[in-house]
Amino acid sequence: MSKPDLVEVEHADDLSTQSLERVGAHALASGEAIKVRVSMQLFDRKSGKSGQYVGWRNQNWKFSVQDVEQARAAQRAIDLLFDLLAVAGVEFTARALQQVKDNVLNVQSAL
């Protein structure tokens, strides 16, 4: 097996959960799901004096969760994705996640 194409991953942990708690309380009171959007951005060195992040067009994902606990579980899943990218590289991570998805779909179709 070849050496993985390692990825440098930085994580800025938002220690304040006030926004999640506030949005979760509002969703609970209104009987609605919590809506989440994950967006990708690219670092553009030619933008401004020291560069800046710009949106990667059409690269965002939206999903809904039922409550704060599910939102935290989704955050943990995303954390695991980036942890795997950092330790195993892009290609391995993509293959591993495809296998997991295929296995889940096979189990679901058997039910």
Which tens digits make up the pLDDT trace of 25-60? 999 999 999 999 999 999 888 877 778 989 999 999
Across the range 63-87, mean pLDDT stands at: 95
* Residue 39 belongs to domain spanning: 18-110
Bridge partners, 61 (sequence order): 38
46, part of any domain: yes
Which tens digits make up the pLDDT trace of 5-17? 767 888 776 655 6
Q: How far apart are CA 82 and CA 71, in angstroms?
A: 17
7, part of any domain: no
**pLDDT grade, residue 2 (50/70/90)?**
low
Across the range 57-84, mean pLDDT stands at: 95
Across the range 49-76, mean pLDDT stands at: 92
Res 3 pLDDT > 70: no
31, part of any domain: yes
The reported pLDDT for the residue numbered 16 is 59
Count of domains in the chain? 1
30, part of any domain: yes
Across the range 72-91, mean pLDDT stands at: 94
* Cα separation values, 49 from 44, 45, 56, 76, Å: 11, 8, 20, 35
The residues near 75 (Cβ < 8 Å, ≥ 6 apart) are: none
Backbone torsions φ then ψ of 65, nearest 5 degrees: -125, 160
Secondary structure letter of residue 111 according to DSSP: -
CB atoms near residue 83 (< 10 Å):
13
Res 85 pLDDT > 70: yes
1, part of any domain: no
Backbone torsions φ then ψ of 57, nearest 5 degrees: -50, 130
Res 94 pLDDT > 60: yes
The reported pLDDT for the residue numbered 6 is 66
